Amino acid sequence: MRSRKSGVGILGMGVCLPEKVLTNFDIEKMVDTSDDWIVTRTGIRERRLVRVDQATSDLALPAAKGALGQAGVSAEEVDLIIVATTTPDMLFPSTACLIQRDLGATKAGAFDLSAACAGFVYALNLAYATIASGQYKYVLVIGADALSKMMDWTDRSTCVLFGDGAGAALLGPVPGGRGVIATHVGSDGRYAKQLMMPAGGSRLPSSHETVDKKLHTVKMNGNEVFKMAVRIMVDATRVVVQKAGLNLSDIDCVVPHQANLRIIQAAIERLGIPPEKFMLNLERYGNMSAASTVVALYEAVEERKIQSGSKVALVSFGSGLAWASCVMVW
């Protein structure tokens, strides 16, 4: 059992971003849009795309290796692997099992978690609970998506928003007073149809008709999702900071899901937290779904926006609708 005095936190992180860059100017040549429209409405300038022969696990594996390397923990010591993804390599087996195999994490359990863009923070909160309860010591949490493979590249209202990437964090014991201090998750399935990929599951299995109707691509009601996203970002931040016994002014860095700069700006206004405390990188990557928050967290540490002792809030939302937030002391 873990000593009651120790905490549970992130021991190491890794990321993997595809080499191919797709700029707004490239997209101008594909659909009726402009760099100006995309930047003004979303804040995104470019995003990364996997190659045709790459899948989500090809991004997740190097990110996982990076996290283990930074933590100085071997794959054989990992107890559990959770891959948060909406774009698994295939419906089954889980992408987590492929990662378990390729890492040689011989004693680890492994499963995928489906909470779309909120997936990494969902998985992190779950990993925290399994370690805090004394069940496990080391849990590898990966947020990885290759949404470019599920895009309708003729639909300008969605194809400009997303990009591919992966990030991983190894959770384990940390000194007391450090690590996760509060978690929060929520969902509202009444909004399920606002952001979905209709076909490919048991409701609408693949058929010529589903392919012809492009039902294997992302469908979204952008306006509805936008309004809900702002509300969720604000509420999920407030709730988790309160659970942590802190005030919003105590938070040193907020790492939000990177969907749209205007969503984040609206949340900043409503929360009254200074904008410079928010980590932003969506300009370079777009919305990388489950990878978004973890890559932003990694870069916030690299850029020293987060330092030892910083109080950090992660907040994410996505299709479901589903959302998750957490507060940790770095």
Six-digit token string for 48: 């990364």
SS3 52: coil
Of 38 and 244, CB closest to ligand COA: 38
Please count the other Cβ atoms lying within 10 Å of the Cβ belonging to residue 62. 15
Q: In 200-258, which residue ranges form alpha helices assigned H by DSSP?
A: 208-212, 222-243
Task: Report, in Å, the least distance between residue 161 CB and ligand COA.
Answer: 6
Site for ligand COA in 20-79 (CB under 6 A): 33, 37-38, 41-42
Contact at 8 Å (CB) between 66 and 17?
Answer: no
Q: Which of 318, 320, 322, 327 binds ligand COA (CB under 6 A)?
A: 318
- Measured from the CB atom, the residue of 259 and 267 that comes closer to ligand COA is 259
- One-letter amino acid of 38: I
Instruction: List the x/- string, 100-139, binding to ligand COA by CB under 6 A.
Output: -----------------x----------------------
Q: Which residues 267-296 are close enough to bind ligand COA by CB under 6 A?
A: 287
Q: Which is nearer to ligand COA, 135 or 223 (CB)?
A: 223
259 binds ligand COA (CB under 6 A): yes
Contact between 86 and ligand COA by CB under 6 A: the answer reads: no
> Residues 180-219: x/- map of binding to ligand COA (CB under 6 A)?
---------------x------------------------
Q: Among 314, 329, 327, which Cα is nearest to 119's?
A: 314
**Tokens read off for 280:** 């932003």
Residue 78: how many other CB atoms lie within 10 Å: 28
Q: Read off the amino acid at residue 261.
A: L
- Is position 156 an interface residue for ligand COA (rule: CB under 6 A)? yes
Q: With CA atoms as reference, report the closest residue to 24 among 42, 55, 46.
A: 46
Does residue 281 sit in helix, strand or coil? coil
What are the catalytic residues? 117, 257, 287
Q: Which residues is 21 bridged to in the sheet?
A: 48
Residues that bind ligand COA (CB under 6 A): 33, 37-38, 41-42, 117, 156-157, 160, 195, 220, 222-223, 225-226, 229, 259-260, 287, 318
